[in-house]
Amino acid sequence: MSWEKELKELRLREALAEKMGGADKLARQSERGKLNARQRLDALLDDNSFREIGKIAGRGKYAADGTLEDFAPSNFIFGRGRIHGRTVVASADDFTVRGGAADAAIHRKFAMAEQMAHEIGLPLIRMIDGTGGGGSVKMLEQMGFTYVPFVPGWEHVVKNLGAVPVVALALGSCAGLGAARLVASHYSVMVRGIAQVFTAGPKVAEGIGEAAMSNEALGGADIHARNGVIDDEAETEAEAFARARAFLSYLPSSVASRATRTINHDPATRRDEELLSIVPRDKRQAYSMRRIVKSVFDRDSVFEMGARWGRSVITAFARLDGFPVAVLASDPTFLGGSWTADASDKARRFVQLAELFRLPVVHLVDNPGFMIGLEAEKSATIRRGVEAMNAIYRATIPWCSVIIRKAYGVSGAAMSDHTRYQYRFAWPSGDWGSLPMEGGIEVAYKAELSDAADPAAEIAKIKERLSAVTSPFRTAEQFLIEDIIDPRDTRMLLCEFAEMASK
């Protein structure tokens, strides 16, 4: 009267599912330097924490009497697991079964993984190693008809972007729907050398007249880490998994909860003497903003994203006395910190991410303005810059600005929403205005210079007079900057801000 027979069949089906695409295809996956889907889940998640859902879903092959002869599993594996002890939804495409093609994944599994994340409120990780969902030309011939395209379950992808942290890892060639699933995330990483991303592969591109090229030439990391399609690249799969785990450590499990404070061993009162002289007196000289970021936030807590695109803006997560915060900063070593079109997009997207998950923002400002010139106009810098400014003005999260050096023009005004309470500090190196005075002296004092016996000497005198006017202390007298601080006190004041913002 027991159900032992059925349980024996269940164990058989589970064993067949674990064979994935078979020994030969698993060997080829390994020869390419790639882990298989189950190895990836084991490497990403805490030890022994994965519980698979729908393991025996797939296509069975049966004898005439109905006995199971063989079984081809779905090439989409998902379930619940843990990262740093926190429950997540994790999925992996199995390239060894039909090349990871989505039409072999069983659409309901894909949809349910997405649905599980936003309905329960769990972070979602997608490990993508496959192609689109439309099937092959041969399959369409076998079907005998074509269909109007749609993506089953995409409504859940959209809901997740507004509900839970979504991480996507490109671990092979990601084309079509695979590429779409990759970029529909809050944080994406591709592994250099084994991952490529494209709307359609090289052979399809040749069909519209493109020259023959490799997968890497069409969609490798050197292209997409620079254009913002993906956020980061990794040298190995292990590094990609580590970055995914780190990213999630700064965020809550969903928009319904708050990020958690970690134990901090770096004193909030720590002062770095180097900060006193890190900004050169010569305004034309650059300095390392990353060195400042490293100094003022908790030691070893800075997690930068998107370093290779929109390079005049730095975006990172970090901690202040254990509290997670979002860091927006200028990089004066690239175009003087001017906001380009790409930098503006990067800033907008990052501010929207911080707003979604209620992370306080610390903005370290050295912004000489929007990039100017023909290329800047061609790339619609002003439109994209204003969209970034609008995102900052729409933000309701706690916001702290520290003016390190320059703040000019409209983009300088985008340091914060001026109508809100200004939790703001300036270093003595602060330099602001509607435009840099140095650039307008020849025009503003044209008559005086034309009458001067020594125009160069006259310009020097004018600059000396203007230096008093541009002193940050003159601005502080009018209470147009709230506080000028000793740079060495920055960490202490930011830790105070983070503690108050956590209330």
pLDDT band at 200 (very low <50, low <70, confident <90, very high): confident
Quote the percentage of the chain above a pLDDT of 90.
74
**Rg (the chain; Cα; Å):** 27
pLDDT tens for residues 45-69? 999 999 999 999 998 889 888 888 8
Tell me: the pLDDT tens digits for 304-340?
A: 999 999 999 999 999 999 999 999 999 999 999 999 9
What band does 139 get if pLDDT is binned at 50, 70 and 90? Answer: low
Give the pLDDT score at 454: 73
Structure token digits, residue 163? 């509900």
Q: What is the mean pLDDT of the chain?
A: 91
| Amino acid letter, 419 | T
Which H helix or E strand runs over 389?
helix 381-394
Helix, strand, coil proportions of the chain in percent (round to 5)? 40, 20, 40
The full set of domain ranges for the chain reads: 4-249, 273-501
Domain 4-249 in CATH 1.10.10.60: no
How many Å apart are CA 19 and CA 398, to the nearest integer? 51
Judge whether 219 and 198 are in contact, CB under 8 Å. Answer: yes
User: 465 or 350, which is more confident?
Assistant: 350
Tell me the CA distances in angstroms from 34 to 231, 238, 256, 267, one per residue in order: 21, 11, 36, 42
CA distance 441 to 202: 54
User: Into which CATH architecture does domain 273-501 fall?
Assistant: Alpha-Beta Complex (3.90)
Fold equal for 4-249 and 273-501: yes
* Confidence grade of residue 201 (pLDDT, cut at 50, 70, 90): confident
Token pair listed for 55: 């393991």
Question: Which residue stretches of 257-340 are H helix?
Answer: 289-296
Which tokens go with 452? Answer: 């001067």
> What pLDDT is stored for residue 67 in this prediction?
85
Q: What are 263-306's pLDDT values in tens digits?
A: 999 999 999 999 999 999 998 899 999 999 999 999 999 999 99
Q: pTM to 2 decimals?
A: 0.91
- The reported pLDDT for the residue numbered 462 is 67
Q: Distance (Å, rounded) from C-alpha 281 to C-alpha 290?
A: 19
The length of the chain in residues reads: 503
Question: Which whole number is the average pLDDT over 371-385?
Answer: 94
Alpha-carbon distance of 444 to 435, in angstroms, equals 12
Beta-carbon contacts of 97 under 8 Å, excluding residues fewer than 6 positions away, are 20, 21, 25, 72, 73, 74, 75, 104
